[in-house]
Amino acid sequence: MAQLQVAERLVGPALTEGHALARLAELTDGIGPRLAGSEGSEAAVQWALRSFKADGVKAWTEPVKVPHWIRGEERAELIASERFRGRPLTVMALGSSVATPPEGITAEVVEVRSLEELAALGDRVKGRIVLFSHDMKGPEDYGRFGSLRGRGPSAAAKAGAVAALVRSLATASLSTPHTGATRFEDGVTPIPAASVTVEDAELLHRLLAGAGPVKVRLVLGCKELPEKDSFNVVAEVKGRQKPEEIVLIGAHLDSWDVGTGAHDDGAGVVMVMEAARLLARQKPAPRRTVRVVLFMNEENGLRGARAYAEAHAAELPRHVAAMEMDAGGGQPVGVVLRSAEGAAELVRPWLNPLVALGAGTLLPAEAGGADLLPLLPASVPFFGVRQDSSRYFDFHHTHADTLDKIDPEALAKSTAAAAWMAYVMAELPEVLPRPPAAPSPFAPAAGNVKPPAH
Ligand SMILES: [Zn+2]
């Protein structure tokens, strides 16, 4: 069937029917936050199954053991000194932080801007609260400074610190702390770790520049409960000619426990669900099978990603392309690949229907996604729809990641682009050339390399 006729049937309804947005309202306003192990996450699993069924898309669950971390009381205060008055600070525990004693931890603050600076301090870290500062300005800085949140508290604990504060990884701040995962290396006794608002990090920074100590009291009541049984939700639209060849389109169903995960990653979830709904209506069906995977526990463990790769290990050589939509609900701006020589030539002739959406070009950036990492050793080619993420980190991992932050038009356009690219990968006469196998960040052979924190 002519490319443009199919494009009309996929892109048209994605732009005009508002289905993805309605679904996102159900997931965010209806279910709410859905951190792995929570009741919300289980409700989201049931919702996804019901929704696929209503769309006429075959779906099932696959088991995943997940951590069950819960937030408790959280507060901090600047202790008064001769130079300044005391006052509350706005903090939010980082995922997998341990609690403080009920009375809190009170200690002098020492500020560092990198893990190297921390190491250089040596003994001066002992008994202190380490403040990890940075100057994140745009979305492109998230990768660079993310290691301060992901690995900083563990490094601080190793060096003898009693607690860690991490300046929120934010591109804007109205006194909003941004949570996220941190990870303690094996053998390190975890310390309480929290994010602090940009404003309070700046205040501490200014006070530390003056003479005399700066003391903070931190109270955290979070805890790790026994692991729970949870699920990935998997759905499929069978291919007409090569049903054994799989195009994976994914997103993560879990969110943080604050906000309602409208951008992270409710938007991605409804985009790939809508792609499946529209592809299931497509007659004849695309050449290959399109498989939707809604991963559980991306945020604080990537257990769903690992469980999927393990359960489907024998099938991974037949995974001909994989995409994860996990960059919010912003406008589509182009298409990205992670493949090998010759891929661009195969894909470019199929991008015309994306031109009107503003996404008709192949961009030099690499496609990827946290939940796709376990597919790296199997040389699975990745593709993706790049989105405008200039405002994404204003709300990311905060109480403010809610439906009102979603631009319906941008969501609809990215949904259309994702649906079209899923179709392209399923319909291309040839498959994308496979990239060289890369080591999995989870393989024991990788030694102490830890999966990145998201
Ligand atoms: Zn995400």
Buried b (16+ CB within 10 A) or exposed e, 160-192: ebbbbbbbbbbbebeebbbbbbbbbeeeeebbb
Percent of the chain with pLDDT over 90: 95
Residue 53 lies inside a defined structural domain of this protein: yes
Answer with the one of 203, 221, 239 that is the final residue of a domain: 221
DSSP-assigned letters across all residues of 245-287: EEEEEEEE----SSS--IIIIIHHHHHHHHHHHHHHH-SSPPS
Answer with the one of 156, 188, 221 that is the final residue of a domain: 221
Q: What is the mean pLDDT of residues 133-141?
A: 95
Residue 300 lies inside a defined structural domain of this protein: yes
Do residues 23 and 100 both lie within one domain?
no
Do residues 204 and 284 both lie within one domain?
no
Do residues 106 and 38 both lie within one domain?
no
Do residues 161 and 114 both lie within one domain?
yes
Phi, psi values for residue 164, rounded to 5°: -135, 140
The predicted structure's pLDDT at residue 2: 78
Do residues 301 and 366 both lie within one domain?
yes
283 C-alpha to center of ligand 1: Å? 33
CATH number, domain containing residue 98: 3.50.30.30
Under the banding of pLDDT at 50, 70 and 90, the label for residue 444 is very low
Alpha-carbon distances of 43 from 31, 37, 94, 323, 328, rounded to whole Å: 7, 11, 24, 25, 21
Residue 249 lies inside a defined structural domain of this protein: yes
Residue 454 lies inside a defined structural domain of this protein: no
Under the banding of pLDDT at 50, 70 and 90, the label for residue 443 is low
235 C-alpha to center of ligand 1: Å? 20
By residue range, what is the domain housing residue 92? 73-221
184 C-alpha to center of ligand 1: Å? 21
Do residues 125 and 252 both lie within one domain?
no
Which residues make beta-bridge pairs with 166? 132, 195
201 C-alpha to center of ligand 1: Å? 24
Do residues 316 and 415 both lie within one domain?
yes
Residue 452 lies inside a defined structural domain of this protein: no
Nearest to 376 by CA among 305, 326, 325: 305
The predicted structure's pLDDT at residue 393: 97
Under the banding of pLDDT at 50, 70 and 90, the label for residue 3 is confident
The predicted structure's pLDDT at residue 448: 36
Answer yes or no: is pLDDT of 454 > 80. Answer: no
Do residues 137 and 267 both lie within one domain?
no
The predicted structure's pLDDT at residue 4: 86
Q: What is the mean pLDDT of residues 161-170?
A: 98
Do residues 298 and 400 both lie within one domain?
yes
Phi, psi values for residue 277, rounded to 5°: -60, -45
pLDDT tens string 78-134: 999 999 999 999 999 999 999 999 999 999 999 999 999 999 999 999 999 999 999
Residue 393 lies inside a defined structural domain of this protein: yes
Answer yes or no: is pLDDT of 314 > 70. Answer: yes
Report d(CA 49, CA 119) in Å as an integer. Answer: 48
86 C-alpha to center of ligand 1: Å? 36
Answer with the one of 177, 196, 221 that is the final residue of a domain: 221
252 C-alpha to center of ligand 1: Å? 7
Under the banding of pLDDT at 50, 70 and 90, the label for residue 450 is very low
Do residues 174 and 320 both lie within one domain?
no
The predicted structure's pLDDT at residue 446: 36
Residue 16 lies inside a defined structural domain of this protein: yes
404 C-alpha to center of ligand 1: Å? 18
Tally DSSP H helices, then E strands, for the chain.
12, 16
Do residues 214 and 361 both lie within one domain?
no
CATH number, domain containing residue 330: 3.40.630.10
Residues 42, 111, 245, 298: which is the catalytic one?
A: 298
Domain count, the chain: 2
181 C-alpha to center of ligand 1: Å? 11
Do residues 51 and 159 both lie within one domain?
no
180 C-alpha to center of ligand 1: Å? 10
The predicted structure's pLDDT at residue 1: 58
Cis, bond preceding 135 (omega within 30 deg of 0):
no
297 C-alpha to center of ligand 1: Å? 10
The predicted structure's pLDDT at residue 384: 98
- The answer to whether the CB of 216 falls within 8 A of the CB of 226 is no
pLDDT tens string 16-63: 999 999 999 999 999 999 999 999 999 999 999 999 999 999 999 999
pLDDT tens string 188-224: 999 999 999 999 999 999 999 999 899 999 999 999 9
Residue 451 lies inside a defined structural domain of this protein: no
Which residues make beta-bridge pairs with 216? 78, 107
pLDDT tens string 336-384: 999 999 999 999 999 999 999 999 999 999 999 999 999 999 999 999 9
Q: What is the mean pLDDT of residues 251-260?
A: 98
The predicted structure's pLDDT at residue 452: 47
Active site residue 298: yes
The predicted structure's pLDDT at residue 441: 77
